[in-house]
Structure 1
Amino acid sequence: MVDKTASLSEAVSTHLNDGDTVALEGFGHLVPVAAAHEIIRQRFSGLTLARMSCDVIVDQLLGAGCLQGLISSFVANSSAGSLYELRRRVEHCDPEPLWFDEYSHGGMVARYQAGAAKLPFQPIASYRGSDLAKKNPRIRTVDDPYGGPSIHVVPALNPDLTIVHAQRADSQGNVQAWGMLGIQTEAAFAGRRLVVTVEEIVDEDIVRSDPNRTIIPAHIVDAVVPVPRGSHPHAVQGCYDRDDEFSRAWSTLAREASAVSAWLEENIHGTADHEEFLSRIGLDRFDRLSIRDTFSTPVNYGGRV
């Protein structure tokens, strides 16, 4: 058994390089926010970010000068407003243009699925009649070899590094998650390297007691990092709720580029790690994000007597 636990700073510095394509996936909750902040803290540059659903970390990575490109299918601060740093780059090339490779959610899923299966591309039927296929030259049309109508295809997505967040893992890197899942498993298998941040590291026996919750097996994980509250301001099912107040405040703050720079300098570059960042924004806010226990029905896996 190989212990793959690492600190967040060690995992990011070891497995990410300037110029890489990095996927930060998690849909609605389980978003690897602490990892994004560590990328900023270590001042990486020239990165291309793959993320289905953009949010505050996209604005923050852009404001920190980490990104040269974005691969995505949704660009808004959830229900909290706009991402003004992203808008400045896309609408006004301010301070410079951003390469933006746009797909639908289905297109992003298909790209990760192809990458995970080590296929060159994936067919997708939902682009029939869509203008998006006309706007993005990477969405191609091929003949159906079985005689049907032609079909659109999207290229495989194989990030240099994938980072996902989950509720728990053992020290070997068997990762378990529950609640609303996105494309984490496919993105994990598609990545050339994989770092997983988790709310807690648990004993192997806990993982073995409920194996169907394992969404990522240890053999593809390069590092597993315990980062409690590592998804804030997003939720983690069973741990804490979404911090809508923070996200709404970000949309107000980010209207001015200078305010974004000042916030990053104080709260990310001015902190040593995620724990200090949380202390800076106020740990008392997690009292307001606390949740009640709601347990699922026990499952009897059975076994020999």
Structure 2
Amino acid sequence: MAKISSLADAVAELIRDGDTVALEGFTHLIPVAAGQEIIRQRKRDLTLVRMTPDIVYDQLIGAGCARKLIFSWGGNPGVGSLHRFRDAVQRSWPAPLAIEEHSHAGMANRYVAGASGLPFAVLRGYIGTDLPAVTDTIKPIVCPFTGEQLTAVPALNPDVTVIHAQRADRTGNVQLWGLLGVQKEAVLAAKRSLVTVEEIVDELTPMPGAIVLPSWAVTAVAAVPGGAHPSYAQGYSERDNAYYAAWDAISRDRETFTRWLDDTVFTPTTDRASLMSIPVETA
């Protein structure tokens, strides 16, 4: 049964320096609060995994938490580049960052293989692309039945997967709905998992299109209302487009970014309300 915990205690217990950590969520339900708690606890040498790293990974990389990024697309959605990510790759600030790039299909199939207990996944998607020339974890394979040349990618089995969801019950069963990505597969593929939720309820009521992660598949659950901000949680909050736009200016400059970290994430009195805003003068 999943343990009901505080966010700080769950991150301290589950995420260790040097771990491979996946924070998944697509367009909404992105576990931003958990990412900022990882920064606050100064976790180091992490291999970060995410199909679509956006501003929460920009924050983690800029704060010096990461040594490697495994991904399929990176950017500030609707705005532009991830400037802390670019600075780490191009100028090794605040530390060198290794990258392993895949396609969306490749990443999704790697999670599925990990969740299925298989050593690798097979797909056609990389044929004719340049990615096999720059990514060591993409290998040709011949179908033993047809002779067709395909591509194999190794399973992803993170040490820890972190996701955000709408709610959980008091025994740790997690319910999420709306535009879903690979959250289910990423949790099932991981050795340990943390789910932050908008609320903990006595009973999960059915929702159209919802999926339920059973308590036995989840290590810890933490109630973190607003934990997906500035992304949204369907049925609970809307996307904060102004935050994404403001992040572009903050992340472009090292001093401005460092000041943002000190004034928000590392400030002892910081609560979720202050983390969910960006000062007007830096926007």
TM category, shorter:
over 0.9
| Deviant stretches of 4+, over 4 Å | 209-212, 280-283
Cα distance in 2 for residues equivalent to 1:39 and 1:13: 8
What is the match of residue 215 of structure 2? 218
Report SS of the residue matched to 1:230.
Answer: coil
CA contact (8 A) 1:4 1:171 kept: no
CA contact (8 A) 1:3 1:171 kept: no
The Cα offsets for residues 129-157 of structure 1, whole Å up to 9 and x where unpaired, read as 11112221210011111123111010011
Query: Alpha carbon RMSD of aligned pairs, Å?
Result: 1.8
Gaps of 5+ in 2: 279-283
Report SS of the residue matched to 1:153.
Answer: strand
Q: Indicate yes or no: 2:71 matched with 1:76.
A: no
Which has the higher mean CA deviation after the structures are superposed, 254-263 or 86-95?
86-95
Equivalent runs, 1:131-280 vs 2, <5 Å: 131-204=130-203, 206-207=204-205, 209=206, 213-272=210-269, 276-279=271-274
The Cα shift of 1:96 comes to: 3.4
CA contact (8 A) 2:264 2:274 kept: no
Cα distance in 1 for residues equivalent to 2:71 and 2:161: 14
Cα distance in 1 for residues equivalent to 2:268 and 2:49: 26
Report SS of the residue matched to 1:126.
Answer: coil
The Cα shift of 1:32 comes to: 0.4
Cα distance in 2 for residues equivalent to 1:245 and 1:63: 21
Cα distance in 2 for residues equivalent to 1:224 and 1:168: 10
What is the match of residue 66 of structure 1? 65
The Cα offsets for residues 67-121 of structure 1, whole Å up to 9 and x where unpaired, read as 1110111110011221111011112333432110110111110110111011110
TM-score by length of 1: 0.87
The Cα shift of 1:210 comes to: 5.5
**Overall identity of the aligned pairs, in %:** 46
Cα distance in 2 for residues equivalent to 1:15 and 1:272: 24
What is the match of residue 17 of structure 2? 18
Cα distance in 1 for residues equivalent to 2:93 and 2:40: 22
What is the match of residue 96 of structure 1? 95
The Cα shift of 1:280 comes to: 5.4
Report SS of the residue matched to 2:187.
Answer: helix
Higher strand share: 2
Report SS of the residue matched to 2:252.
Answer: coil
**CA 1:266–1:277: 2 relative to 1, 3 Å:** farther
Gaps of 5+ in 1: 284-305
The Cα shift of 1:46 comes to: 0.6
Partner amino acid, structure 2, of 1:154: V
Report SS of the residue matched to 1:142.
Answer: strand
Cα distance in 2 for residues equivalent to 1:230 and 1:121: 33
Report SS of the residue matched to 1:34.
Answer: helix
The Cα shift of 1:173 comes to: 1.6
The Cα shift of 1:258 comes to: 1.2
Report SS of the residue matched to 2:74.
Answer: coil
What is the match of residue 121 of structure 1? 120
TM-score by length of 2: 0.94
CA contact (8 A) 1:267 1:277 kept: no
CA contact (8 A) 1:81 1:248 kept: no
Higher-Rg structure is 1
Cα distance in 2 for residues equivalent to 1:34 and 1:135: 33
CA contact (8 A) 1:174 1:214 kept: no
CA contact (8 A) 2:64 2:94 kept: no
Partner amino acid, structure 2, of 1:62: I
What is the match of residue 109 of structure 1? 108
Cα distance in 2 for residues equivalent to 1:38 and 1:56: 14
